[in-house]
A and B are shown apart, each in its own frame.
Chain A
């Protein structure tokens, strides 16, 4: 290969006329810092929109279903749900895994993407983290209340007691207790810590006394000092490092609830990676479901751009395909393993008494996201939103399929049964969406839904070398 001299280079470049490489801006329309601050703080500071009140009251009413369902459950017995003898875990555990799965995107976006220096995360990470925290709270309701004697649920914690009885550390449910509580703690910490500089901004802009005290309290004396920023960034990085394994561990451990059991269809080594992929899949589905309306409602198109949507769609596509691969691999191993119980469990999943749930799962989780291969579809926001809802539905059904098809037909045909939920099951689950919405609406109303400082850091103004 011969050397190309300067002059020739110029000619060549002229001839091929390459398009100038330019990153798609993460904030559109050349917005200024002030615009960003005003936009984000304005959401919190403006008069409460009427639609918010309607949504909030509706959500509160829906949330009360969960409250009433749980009161009835605790006062009367687990029998008010549809659980029965072969299917001892019904919707409760399905809902638990579903919500925990949703809680995955937040940490993934804020921690993993942070470590991977994915700048586009900045405008979506706060809301996703909030979603994570609220989803984990919703998730926590189910394993807590599905037990027969909830007033003794504290026995799952290793508290010293006079009888010297400890929890059983071999039980995946016990691991869940630690995994989920750790995850919840770290997620809340991460979420809150990231909010401190923004709280300070809100504090400084506040005109009402209560706001001053409220944001002042949570801003923890943030003065925008250099050493504050240094500590903040280091702490943020450390927490990101700490959260990253949690993204993998929580759903791995949740998958152990199934994988450690010896039932056909549950006892498979593919579960941990497949559950994690599924969790990220469902998490991104939920982020899309939440942020697209928020983007429209608050006019955030300049901050949550098509690039963000594209990226999220592509992650959904990737994880959806991973999940699809896992479904296929499960079947292959069931056949290849030559265990007749295992083989039947999978044939039964697809064609047995719950075949409909399996095919809902396949169409929502494997087929639907394939539409994201097409740019046209990714750019059609309403359609993206609808597909994201399908993803959520599909992932709920995935857990339903796993939990119920296996339990309803396991080893001894004499004990095969069928599970159907009761009204209480349905309303308790439905109510958690209300509970989640209540929290999310409060979040939108009172907390900065984007990390202003981080958004600013990815704007062209933040790059002193931008013009070179």
Chain B
């Protein structure tokens, strides 16, 4: 049931509880509210408060030594005094809303329990995303309950030692002061980029009132459209929106269109990966193919069929090379253009064969191929990509260019205006511009010139430090707004699910206050809706959460002239060497541009490629690492090869691990007179001379979660390109310990992720079953091998085993489950986006353990994303440069003959009649035997009271601080919060299964009542009525997956989606030879390389590694000379 919020119902503050005391509205509570957050918990020096709390805890602990400590804590539950409408206690309500991001508004459905938003889902009504979300939307709900939020408004007081203290003031009083200041004039607003129509409409009014408007984003997703528009001589931006569902061949020029470096990630993923869904050989023949030339190893690069490592600064040359190949192949008549492009591409001739064959392949699929350029690349590349798409006939079919408004004035002009005194009052809304621009703007000087500054932000951050007042900004789940999706095809609302928890204001309220509008946010949104909807119903809009619109399309334009104007001198950068490196600055996976730096879920969600948590690092190539190692002996970047490495038993680690902890040498990077120090991380797959640096870490004013994490790259920024050249590295001799959750990168020739090329798949669709130890052993199911999946699931025959298994067939047992749950994960669909990891964390109340505990190998994720690299035949002691990436999501496999169940001495983990490997937390005593015996290592142990204790005080036991209770408000009440000492793991979202089963039963009963006219015991329900229809239950990981890689359902129903997939010949069990008979199986990966390409390999590298290990004699014959 999707609901909408009605503004008039919004109760006054005290009806929405902050704590139970607030219901009583005691004086003590009032005092607590005003004193608990006097300067913002995060802003306080820390010493006094912490030591006070410690003392308190110690004295409580001592008190607890008496018998009083043995009592259960008293807890009080109060019923609603006034029951809200349409709210059934225990039944969650769902609201359509959206998350405003710099990549467009993300349409969402948010689950709310008794007025508390707990879980974010994608809105399936927005078809391009199909109900999926990215990892950030999943994590955003945690920000709502972040105890380090700005819980109201604050006035800055600077102490004598220069430290800022923040004094709590009422938001209304700040707004009053603001009115006076605005009337003084010389006012400017600095905002982050947004796709809000509310802002757009207010912006016009603001401009007319004489307030100047500036925008800034460190990671500017709109930069490509502005560069392209400008290069083509348009007054507007020209946004490239790929339509990849029809694309057969994609060439990406450093464009991470499936990742967080580009917009439209979800729609791109969904559309592109649907072209890689291979269920039969016809699909394999139609499979799309991805070529990518990139400097970083992005997630897109991980999916690619052909990957070329090219430094980002060389991309103009490379794009020209591709374009000139294209021109000559299509017989373009313009000789001058051809010559010009040849000139431009002269430095990249070594990649000619790769480019030539890739272009030939693009051309062989007319109108079904597309060239995409990374948004960080200069206008020249944007232009070249545009022109190539035009020549390929892709515009209108695989890519659309839409006209968008030109960008606002930049932060640089704001700085100069402040400097010359034409701006004296500044309002900084959203984003975090001071942090992001401190590399090229001297805010200390500017702030002295400003007479008045107000910061509106979610937390007191770097940008607040120059402001006189910090206004707490409402979270999007507390605000009204209306905006467009990135592709501008839909309007989506932002509707609040909860009244602001604190004394905060939304951006819309703030802006409308600036122009003196008295309309409330709700009214504002409603007005704008009526403006765009042609009289559509607002309530319907809120219920559906989307409203279709038409973006302004663009009539294509010949870019030859613009191309000819590219000057070779501008693009001819000097050759990169180890003393002239390039630095590519990209958004961080965890922190994005810094806004998620205080989000524990994001901090702990491993980077899909590097697998780092809680930190960022400078990524360099193995090639560069070897050079550095030889230049600075003892740098400690690469570990010395061990005996196992030298004799080829296992691949070397990519880094030095000391007791399982990655020891990364710290270096200084110098670029153009600016420098930073940061730890190094060797990343296979990087372009030789690229350094990949991520923005968003090393923040100086951040909450407790983000404090002390990562290094800050912003001092290197220049305000122009994010690709900097002329960099050099100098080791400092120091080391930093990095929390890497996956120490080993190679699959070691084990048939874990099974892969084949499309050609191989066509000739042998069952290739996956010919791999692994089980392919050499008698069939695991013995004589039952050929029984149907349904029979295998319901009768659980034991093959040739001497032991009989209980018969669970419906006729023979009263505990027969009417469903048999199972899951498939299509490895061909996974891009490694990791949204499943955070979705699972949000759904299942999975605690955050902190960097220290991750270093000890105690992360708690129920689903983890394994990432393996494989390469061409390699020297055992070398880290490869060119790698293929394989992702594999691994959660509890719910084995039919589960190794964990038989070893639990107390029966805490048992099989249920529907095939779930259930975990009875209450029964678990924590022997951890199950986790040892799990071959998939998916069980997670609560080594500490993660939920109860603060992560930095875990070792203080009962004397440690209790966790902030505000985080508890975001917990899913349908899932047990586990205490220390118990084991936990994936349950296939059993709470969702139960909810659906109950609902199905209730529906069936009501239907039977209605049809039979009987009541109560008179009703007979058949098994069929109680079966939950296929597709009703979606596990959290499945729901969030943009490419539908995860399918869950009833395998006893031969028509269910999951049954069909399990009957696909690509289906296999990981470690099948152990006879664990997992209910989660995988669909083997199919790659689609082009045989004509120079880097073509007839089998995926991992498959070759497997065959080399499984049949070493063959290998020996071929390489007998070694």
Contacts and interface: CB of A to CB of B under 8 A. Distances in A.
A416 B743 contact: yes
Contacts of A415: 866, 936-937
A147 B926 contact: yes
B649 A347 contact: yes
Contact of A351 (B643, B659, B982): B643
Nearest to B931: A88
A79 B742 contact: no
Interface string A186-199: 00000000000000
Given A339-B773, A413-B868, A263 B933 contact: yes
Contacts of A166: 907
B1057 interface: no
Contacts of B649: 344, 347-348, 351
A417 B929 contact: no
Interface string B842-853: 000000000001
Nearest to A72: B957
B827 to A, nearest CB: 14
A77 interface: yes
Interface in A404-434: 407, 410-420
Contact of B955 (A80, A152, A351): A80
B936 A412 contact: yes
A418 B659 contact: yes
A414 B748 CA distance: 10
A173 B903 CA distance: 7
A340 interface: yes
A151 B866 CA distance: 36
Contacts of B1071: 411-412
A373 B929 CA distance: 41
A415 B864 CA distance: 10
Contacts of B857: 84-87, 417-418
Given A83-B943, A167-B906, A411-B936, A348 B925 contact: no
A172 B982 CA distance: 19
B958 A413 contact: no
Contact of A156 (B858, B905, B932): B905
Interface string B936-966: 1100111111000000001111100000000
Contact of B957 (A76, A83, A85, A414): A76
A86 B937 contact: yes
**SS of B interface (majority):** loop
B113 interface: no
A173 B867 CA distance: 34
B868 A414 contact: yes
Contact of A262 (B935, B943, B944): B935
Interface residues of B, number: 72
A76 B958 contact: yes
Contact of B923 (A79, A155, A260, A411): A155
B746 interface: yes
Given A168-B907, A170-B902, A79 B853 contact: yes
A118 to B, nearest CB: 38
Interface in A100-151: 143, 146-150
Interface in B426-472: none
Interface centre among B749, B928, B944 (most CB of A within 10 A): B928
A241 interface: no
Interface in A332-367: 339-341, 344, 347-348, 351-352, 355
Given A167-B906, A344-B649, A351-B642, A414 B742 contact: yes
**SS of A interface (majority):** loop
Contact of A149 (B660, B749, B926, B936): B926
Contacts of A174: 905
A75 interface: yes
Given A79-B954, A167-B907, A417-B660, A147 B981 contact: yes
B905 A168 contact: yes
B18 interface: no
Interface residues of A, number: 61
Contacts of B825: none
A148 B936 contact: no
A171 interface: yes
B980 interface: yes
A148 B659 contact: no
A143 to B, nearest CB: 8
Contact of B925 (A75, A153, A344): A153
Interface string B629-664: 000000000000011100001100000010110000
Interface in B886-927: 888, 890, 899, 901-907, 923-927
A87 B941 CA distance: 11
Contact of A340 (B906, B980, B1110): B1110
Contacts of B1114: none
B606 to A, nearest CB: 11
B240 interface: no
A261 interface: yes
A7 interface: no
A168 B908 CA distance: 9
A154 to B, nearest CB: 9
Contact of A148 (B853, B905, B925): B925
Given A263-B932, A348-B644, A412 B890 contact: yes
Interface in B115-168: none
Contacts of A351: 642-644, 649
Interface centre among A150, A351, A407 (most CB of B within 10 A): A351
Contact of A418 (B642, B644, B743): B743
A282 to B, nearest CB: 23
Contact of B743 (A77, A167, A263, A417): A417
Interface centre among A149, A156, A414 (most CB of B within 10 A): A414
B941 A168 contact: no
B267 to A, nearest CB: 30
Contacts of A412: 750, 752, 866, 890, 935-937, 1070-1071
A349 to B, nearest CB: 11
B744 interface: yes
Contacts of B643: 351, 355
A347 B1109 CA distance: 15
Nearest to B1070: A412
B660 A165 contact: no
Given A148-B924, A261-B932, A262-B933, A78 B943 contact: yes
A148 B926 contact: yes
B859 interface: yes
A268 to B, nearest CB: 15
A302 to B, nearest CB: 49
B1115 to A, nearest CB: 13
Interface string A44-80: 0000000000000000000000000000100111111
B856 interface: yes
A88 to B, nearest CB: 4
Contacts of A165: 906-907, 923
A82 interface: yes
Interface string A316-341: 00000000000000000000000111
B941 to A, nearest CB: 6
Contacts of B937: 85-86, 410-412, 415
Interface string B1056-1081: 00000000000000110010100000
Contacts of A152: 906, 925
A137 B597 CA distance: 50
Interface centre among B857, B929, B931, B933 (most CB of A within 10 A): B857
B836 to A, nearest CB: 16
B723 interface: no
Nearest to A264: B935
Contacts of A167: 905-907
Given A76-B954, A413-B868, 12 more contacts: A79-B955, A86-B937, A87-B857, A148-B941, A257-B929, A339-B773, A344-B748, A351-B643, A355-B643, A412-B937, A413-B746, A416-B744
Q: Report the 10 A-B pairs with minimum CB-CB distance, sorted nearest first.
A: A148-B926, A148-B981, A76-B957, A84-B857, A418-B660, A79-B943, A414-B866, A88-B928, A415-B937, A149-B981
